[in-house]
Structure 1
Amino acid sequence: MEELSRKERRKLLREQKKSEKQNQKVFVNLKKLFITLFGCLVIGFFGFKVYKWATAPVPTVSGVSVEAKDDDWIKGNKDASITLIEYSDFQCPACKTYAPMIKKLSEEYKDNIKVVYRHYPLPQHKNAKAAAYGAEAAGKQGKFWEMHDLLFEKQEEWSNEGDITEKLSIFAESLGLNKDEWRADYESQEVKDAVNADVTLANMINLSSTPTFLLNGEKITIRNYEDIKSKVEEKLKSN
């Protein structure tokens, strides 16, 4: 085999280096192109998510908006795309049965769902409206959900009594609330208006029983915990 001269070897080396630079340049350009395309995909994906959220239709029932409001009692992630609204009555035995189930759901899916409680004290439950006032008044001191749980837990203790104001006051004290402030709020028109606003909206969407659940604006029936859990999972997959 004929040995290359020094001049030929230098020429060959220059050509090899030139080829390597060209290959490196192609690689760098491909890398930049890949990064750009990947960035576009990421921006497009999140942009679509934001667009989908921003343009999503407002949940309605019977043509009436039922989306969560800033002054609603909310558990979970207030920015979640899944909303479970419960219209409930503190004197309703069925509502008491569902209360632990909804509480468990709000804890298990706290990052993915907002659970909204709205009052719908039924006329046949003589103490339901007073209990709703008591919970609203507790909410003025940041203890709505604590009073909510206590009212259901001790439902048998107050549901068949006459005037339950004193019983509710004892509950408020047990939660560490200022009794005088609680009593003033309990008797205030502001608290009564808050409860009545929920009732008015419930009547506008033709509710007639408790508990009634709306999942992203759609009335649903819940048989047990696994049932509501599966419905939430379906919504999560579709988002």
Structure 2
Amino acid sequence: MKLTTNVKVSATLAAVFVVLLSVLLYTNRSPERTEVAATEDPATATVWTEEIRTLTEAPDAKVQLVEFLDFECESCRALYPVMERIRAEYAGRIDIGIRYFPIPSHTNSHLAARVVEAAARQGRLEPMYQRMYETQAQWGESSQSQEAVFRGFAQELGLDITAFERDIADRSVAERVDRDFDAGLALGVQGTPTLFLNGVELPPMPTYEELRARIDTALAQ
């Protein structure tokens, strides 16, 4: 009886240790890991959708490269030159789309996504997308709203400011961003940047050479 009790106590202590370890790992995750539960059904979530924002498109759409991104994410900024190089080399040969995945712990990430979406509604997706990464060091990681800074970007890019301000405050624009975020969670996205090539998630932070090799293989199939 005493032996059985000791075994039970040991098992209980082991279980408690596992739970505590899990909690410790969870609370010490990277700040670029999301803490929001998915609301979209994983069975119906798709990487490429009709409303996806595209940076380049191909006539045959044989290869589709999608990035789930956060404009305030430093890792996304680090990948940006690689993506720009890929975009220039494969312009007109592959589809490249972006989907918003603003990390909740980043104060201005959701606003930045709405700003880019508002610019896209005026046909200025590409320059605003570029402006966000090229200036990230100036406004990123701030605990204060950067709306005034983003409004300055809109003015510099020649956007209709009245329409721009209406759009970034429009609930439908926020919902558009949230749909991408929810789809990302349903697809298993856990942080940014996350790339998908023809619907298959790629290893994190690929080099230009690695990404090019995968694209060339897909084009050859």
* TM-score of the two chains, using structure 1 as the length reference: 0.71
Indicate yes or no: 2:220 matched with 1:208.
no
Indicate yes or no: 2:153 matched with 1:166.
no
Partner of residue 106, structure 2: 125
* Alignment check: 8 A CA contact 2:66 2:197 kept: yes
* Alignment check: 8 A CA contact 1:90 1:152 kept: yes
Indicate yes or no: 2:39 matched with 1:93.
no
The structure whose Rg is larger is: 1
Distance 2:171 2:86 in 1: 33
> Cα distance, 1:206 vs. partner?
2.1
Q: Secondary structure at the match of 1:87?
A: strand
* Alignment check: 8 A CA contact 2:56 2:97 kept: no
Partner of residue 18, structure 2: none
After TM superposition, the structure 1 = structure 2 runs for residues 112-191 of structure 1, keeping only pairs within 5 Å, are: 112-161=93-142, 162-191=144-173
Distance 1:186 1:235 in 2: 37
Partner of residue 42, structure 1: none
Q: What do the CA deviations read for 1:74-114 (whole angstroms, capped 9, x no partner)?
A: 12225421001100000000101111211221221122210
Instruction: Give the number of the structure with larger relative contact order, counting CA–CA contacts within 8 Å between residues 6 or more apart.
Output: 2
Distance 1:202 1:72 in 2: 13
Displaced runs of 4 or more, over 6 A: none
In structure 1, the gaps of 5 or more residues are 1-60
Q: Secondary structure at the match of 1:85?
A: strand
Distance 2:42 2:169 in 1: 33
> Cα distance, 1:140 vs. partner?
1.1
Amino acid at match of 1:130: L
Q: What do the CA deviations read for 1:30-73 (whole angstroms, capped 9, x no partner)?
A: xxxxxxxxxxxxxxxxxxxxxxxxxxxxxxx9644424223211
| Number of equivalent positions | 178
Partner of residue 30, structure 2: none
* Alignment check: 8 A CA contact 1:95 1:211 kept: yes
1:226 is matched with which residue: 187, 205, 209?
A: 209
Amino acid at match of 1:145: E
1:68 is matched with which residue: 27, 48, 51?
A: 48
Amino acid at match of 2:57: N
Could you tell me the percent identity over the aligned residues? 26
Higher helix residue share: 1
Distance 1:62 1:182 in 2: 33
CA RMSD of aligned residues (A): 1.6
Amino acid at match of 2:216: E
* Alignment check: 8 A CA contact 1:64 1:205 kept: no
* TM-score of the two chains, using structure 2 as the length reference: 0.76
> Cα distance, 1:218 vs. partner?
0.6
Partner of residue 235, structure 1: 218
> Cα distance, 1:119 vs. partner?
0.4
